[in-house]
Amino acid sequence: MKKLSILILVGLLFVNCKKEKTLLQKIKTQNIETKFITFHKQFYEADEEVLAQLKSRHPFLFPNTTSDQVWRSKINNPEERELFRMADSIYGDLTEEKEKLNLLFKHIRYYNSNFTPPKTFSLITGLDYENNVIYADSLLFISLDMYLGKNAEPYDSFPPYIKNNFTKKNLLVDVAREILQKKFIYKNGRSFLETMLYHGKEVFLLSTVLPNYKIQELMGYQDEKYQWAVENEAEIWSYFIRKNLLYSTDQKLNPRFIDKAPFSKFYLDSDRLTPGSLGVWIGYKIVQSFADNNDVSLQELLALNAESLFRNSRYKPQK
């Protein structure tokens, strides 16, 4: 019986691998056109003539109210030039990033035929961490100075749970998240369960278009905190049930279990061992359980209301 079980498991793994390869082949055949402008390099290496050309070519990046003197001052600003130098040493001509973005765009197009890859610009924005990626349908702006590595000196003043995600690998996650939020529409709600599943769908979407990423990378969790979540999944779920949180509309639950934070807030001594946003992670686990137990398309899954998805997920954390 043991040998038979192993053979069945190996067979299932083989079938799944074959399906994944076939799917990837289909995705790679998506016919898309991508345009990537290394604007950060063009701008910080610009002389008078090139600056005039850039203004003419990309007027939306140069407000009429800003004089050339201001732009020249920005180009020569020592702090910004250091950010440019650091970004240039890490990314070069962005060959690797262009290839990864192209594959990401193909994944999104495969699941949403109305998606057109945006013209993408690389920028240096002076550590504008609230606008590290901006997606505006036909345009995408990526601030490379927000992806220099978690130990980069410019991030010394940022708290660890934020700067840990200022990495080269996380660039693609942030780009995907910005696009998915606008190209895939699904409803939120007032209850804690609805909010968990709304964000859980987002993480599930991210895992669909970035299949080579681990869930902890998509969640922004450090390995040790993710391990804590895995080992304590049953206890987390039990806490939510015991405290009657699922159908609660108390908005104070969001900063405790949904929003980005250094840790989740159970009001226990062990809180600092936990990752933030554990409600999002449990939401993802429920969505993943539904996908594993139901043969539906991605669009059908996203359209489901929270109650139907939850009831049909057969979610049961391992103890």
CA dihedral 159, 161, 165, 167 (to 10 degrees): 50
Written as six digits, the tokens of 43 are 């701008």
How high is the mean pLDDT of the chain? 93
pLDDT digits (tens, 9 = 90+) for 197-248: 999 999 999 999 999 999 999 999 999 999 999 999 999 999 999 999 999 9
For residues 79 and 318, give the distance between their C-alpha atoms in angstroms, rounded to a whole number: 50
> Strand 35-37 and strand 119-123: pairing?
parallel
Written as six digits, the tokens of 253 are 């639950």
What element of type H or E holds 140? strand 139-143
β-pair partners for 143: 123
Instruction: State yes or no: pLDDT of 10 exceeds 90.
Output: no
Report the candidate in 100, 279, 285, 264 with the shortest Cα–Cα distance to residue 174: 100
DSSP class of residue 117? P
Written as six digits, the tokens of 303 are 């359209």
What element of type H or E holds 295? none
Coil vs helix vs strand at 225: helix
Given this model, what pLDDT does residue 18 score? 55
What number of residues does the chain have? 319
> Strand 133-136 and strand 139-143: pairing?
antiparallel
pLDDT digits (tens, 9 = 90+) for 295-311: 999 999 999 999 999 99
pTM for the predicted model, two decimal places: 0.91
Given this model, what pLDDT does residue 25 score? 86
For tokens 């929270």, name the residue: 306
For residues 9 and 3, give the distance between their C-alpha atoms in angstroms, rounded to a whole number: 10
Instruction: State yes or no: pLDDT of 12 exceeds 70.
Output: no
Main-chain dihedrals φ then ψ at residue 36, nearest 5 degrees? -125, 120
Given this model, what pLDDT does residue 23 score? 86
On whether the CB atoms of residues 299 and 204 are closer than 8 A, the answer is no
Tell me the average pLDDT across 265-288.
97
pLDDT digits (tens, 9 = 90+) for 35-70: 999 999 999 999 999 999 999 999 999 999 999 999
Q: Is 206 exposed, middle or buried (0-12, 13-18, 19+ CB in 10 A)?
A: buried
Given this model, what pLDDT does residue 14 score? 46
Coil vs helix vs strand at 128: coil
In order, the DSSP letters of 25-46 are HHHHT-----EEE-HHHHHHT-
Contacts of 252 (CB under 8 A, 6+ apart): none
Given this model, what pLDDT does residue 13 score? 45
